């Protein structure tokens, strides 16, 4: 299978990267076995595997060949390619795609290498770091396009700029968010901005079990703890592995928060409104209609002004025996809400297969006051 085809499938794909060291971080996994890792990443759900073939990363073409011997997913040869014979070499070693860095190549060289890659049956992942390079990639017909959050001069990670680039990339191209992905929430942020895939290297290489770390990174559903009003409750939710922190900002709610509290980089903040959205800064907005002085049944999840998921909830202060079947029949990304806790979230996930789950009142000691053990049990049950 071609790399582009593997990444264009429904849902967020992952390219798992094999590298022993990095110029910015030093040694990551000096004893990495490319064959063993490629096999494990494929089993863990990687859509493709990236292999560093440059000695600055303690990599080689032999590593690529070893990965090919153990895995059937598309392999991306990652290096600093500038000559056609380099492409032929990695193709012979088993590559299905090569990385081309716009930072290091003029347009004519990119076109020549893209043409030669195509002749060899290779896809070219053309990598951009800023708006000018993204415009170049689009103009040159690159597909897929990689958008790297790391500045290769300073090694600084800028996720905000990366997400802006992902958002502006043409939707008819396959887009890969590269570098700086350390949590499911960060991967989801790239997904909601429009990325088809994420490329993850250092995070996996540092993990005790790289394949398990990959499986966790791409697993769904995301887990949201809502109705947060205290910083200590946000901290507990983060500690136990929740992905989304919800803050209800509707005036009539007994769980109304004073504002968006401090949310770590491993989570996304969600501002919850009824009727009209406010202006509190947050990663996402969950907006319910107002009906008869209270929230309507369902909500829309927004990234900026763009709807990115549907929140399917129970009726206001009522139950619905058909709630799960209704949600299971819905199309697109679904965040399942309404009466969830540790006791029922596993069955809900098995029935609905939602993109995210959302719990609030059943995790409380009192309105807006979370019980840490209930939060822990719910998150653990949802991520089981």
Counting DSSP H helices and E strands in the chain, the numbers are 14, 20
Segment among 152-156, 295-299, 346-350 with least mean pLDDT: 152-156
The answer regarding whether domain 222-382 maps to CATH 3.30.470.20 reads no
- Please state, for a pLDDT cut of 70, what percent of the chain lies above it: 99
Asked whether residue 26 carries a pLDDT value surpassing 90, the answer given is no
Residue ranges of the alpha helices (H) in the chain?
3-7, 34-44, 61-70, 84-92, 107-119, 131-139, 159-168, 184-193, 202-206, 210-218, 231-239, 323-328, 345-352, 372-382
- To the query of whether residue 178 is one of the catalytic residues in this protein, the response is yes
- Whether 24 is catalytic: no
Q: Are 241 and 377 in contact (CB under 8 A)?
A: no
- The pLDDT assigned to 159 comes to 82
pLDDT at 180 over 90: no
Q: Which of 22, 60, 71, 78 is catalytic?
A: 78
Beta bridge partners of 303: 306
- Whether pTM > 0.85 for this model: the answer is yes
- H or E, element range at 246: strand 244-248
Q: Do domains 3-218 and 222-382 have the same CATH topology?
A: yes
DSSP sequence for 287-303: EEEEETTEEEEEEEEEE
Alpha carbon distance 96, 335 (integer Å): 36
- Catalytic residue (one of 22, 60, 148, 183): 148
pLDDT band at residue 251 using 50, 70 and 90 as cut-offs:
confident
Q: Are 358 and 349 in contact (CB under 8 A)?
A: no
Per-residue model confidence (pLDDT) at position 1: 83
CATH code of the region 3-218: 3.20.20.70
Between vectors from CA 111 to CA 109 and to CA 117, what angle results, nearest 5°?
Answer: 100
Give the Cα separation of 7 and 197 in Å (integer): 6
Active site residue 252: no
Under the banding of pLDDT at 50, 70 and 90, the label for residue 152 is low
User: Which of these ranges, 158-162, 167-171, 220-224, 360-364, has the smallest mean pLDDT?
Assistant: 158-162
Arithmetic mean of pLDDT, 207-229: 96
Q: Note the pLDDT of residue 154.
A: 67
Task: Say which of 22, 60, 179, 253 is annotated catalytic.
Answer: 179
Let me know if 118 is exposed, middle or buried by CB neighbors in 10 A (0-12, 13-18, 19+). Answer: exposed
Sketch the domain layout of the chain as residue ranges. Answer: 3-218, 222-382
Exactly one of 178, 183, 269, 364 is catalytic; name it. 178
Exactly one of 22, 71, 127, 202 is catalytic; which is it?
127
Strand partners, 15: 48, 199
Tens of pLDDT, residue by residue over 319-364, are 999 999 999 999 999 999 999 999 999 999 999 999 999 999 999 9
> Are the C-beta atoms of 147 and 175 separated by less than 8 Å?
yes
> Averaged over 56-79, what is the pLDDT?
95
Q: Which one is catalytic: 19, 21, 224, 370?
A: 19
Query: Are the CB atoms for 311 and 284 separated by under 8 Å?
Result: no
Predicted confidence at residue 22, as pLDDT, reads: 82
Active site residue 21: no
pLDDT of residue 241: 96
Q: Any residues with CB less than 8 A from the CB of 375 and at least 6 apart, and which?
A: 225, 233, 236, 237, 240, 242, 363
**Catalytic status, residue 19:** yes
Say whether pLDDT at 79 is over 70. Answer: yes
All residues at 6 or more sequence positions from 321 whose CB lies less than 8 Å from its CB, including other chains: none
The tokens describing 384, both together, are 């089981």
pLDDT category, 125, cuts 50, 70, 90? very high
Is the pLDDT score of 307 beyond 70?
yes
Whether a cis peptide bond, with omega within 30° of 0, leads into 221 is: yes
What is the mean predicted confidence (pLDDT) over 376-383?
A: 97
Between helices 210-218 and 184-193, what is the axis angle to 10°? Answer: 50
| Identified catalytic residue from 17, 42, 133, 364 | 17
Separation CA 303–CA 318 (nearest Å): 29
**How confident is the prediction for the chain on average, in pLDDT?**
94
Interval 232-254 mean pLDDT: 95
Q: What is the mean pLDDT of residues 240-252?
A: 95
The answer to whether residues 243 and 184 touch, using CB atoms and an 8 Å cutoff, is: yes
Rounded distance between C-alpha atoms, residue 78 and residue 357, angstroms: 36
For residue 166, is pLDDT > 90? yes
The pLDDT of 195-209, averaged and rounded, is: 95
Whether 150 shows a pLDDT value over 80: the answer reads: no
The answer to whether 75 and 26 have CB atoms below 8 angstroms apart is: no
- Judged by DSSP in three states, 162 sits in helix
**Res. 113 pLDDT band, cuts 50 70 90:** very high
User: What pLDDT score does 319 carry?
Assistant: 93
Give the mean pLDDT of 219-247: 97
Burial (0-12, 13-18, 19+ Cβ within 10 Å), 108: exposed
Q: How much is the pLDDT for 69? A: 97
**End-to-end Cα spacing for the chain:** 31
Residue 184: C-alpha distances to residues 46, 220, 225, 297, 332 (Å): 14, 9, 15, 27, 19
């Amino acid at each position: 299978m071609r790399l582009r085809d593997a990444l264009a499938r429904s849902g967020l794909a992952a390219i798992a990267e094999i590298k022993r060291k990095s110029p910015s971080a030093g040694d990551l996994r000096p004893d990495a076995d490319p064959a063993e890792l490629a096999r494990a990443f494929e089993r863990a759900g990687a859509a493709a595997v990236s292999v560093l073939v440059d000695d600055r990363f303690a990599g080689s073409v032999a590593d690529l060949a070893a990965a090919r011997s153990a895995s059937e997913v598309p392999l991306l040869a990652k290096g600093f390619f500038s000559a056609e014979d380099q492409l032929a070499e990695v193709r012979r070693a088993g590559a299905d795609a090569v990385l081309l860095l716009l930072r290091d190549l003029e347009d004519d060289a990119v076109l020549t290498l893209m043409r030669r890659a195509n002749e060899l049956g290779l896809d070219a992942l053309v990598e951009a770091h800023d708006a000018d390079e993204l415009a170049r990639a689009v103009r040159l017909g690159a597909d897929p396009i990689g958008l790297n959050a790391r500045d290769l001069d300073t090694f600084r990670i800028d996720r905000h700029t990366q997400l802006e680039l992902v958002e502006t990339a043409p939707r008819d191209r396959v887009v890969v968010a590269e570098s700086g992905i350390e949590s499911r929430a960060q991967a989801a942020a790239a997904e909601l901005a429009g990325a088809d895939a994420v490329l993850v290297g250092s995070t996996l290489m540092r993990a005790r079990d790289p394949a398990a770390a990959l499986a966790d990174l791409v697993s769904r559903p995301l887990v949201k703890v809502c109705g947060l009003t205290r910083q200590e409750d946000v901290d507990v939710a983060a500690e136990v592995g929740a992905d989304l922190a919800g803050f209800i900002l509707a005036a009539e709610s007994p769980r109304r928060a004073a504002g968006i509290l401090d949310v770590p980089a491993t989570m996304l903040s969600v501002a919850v409104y009824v009727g009209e959205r406010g202006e509190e800064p947050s990663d996402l907005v969950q907006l319910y209609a107002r009906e008869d002085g209270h929230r309507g049944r369902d909500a829309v999840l927004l990234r900026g002004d763009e709807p990115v998921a549907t929140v399917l909830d129970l009726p206001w202060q009522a139950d619905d025996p058909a709630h799960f079947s209704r949600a299971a029949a819905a199309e697109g990304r679904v965040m399942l809400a309404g009466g969830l806790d540790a006791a029922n979230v596993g069955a809900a996930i098995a029935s609905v297969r939602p993109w995210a789950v959302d719990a609030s009142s059943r995790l409380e000691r009192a309105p807006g006051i979370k019980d840490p053990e209930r939060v822990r049990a719910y998150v653990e049950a949802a991520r089981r």
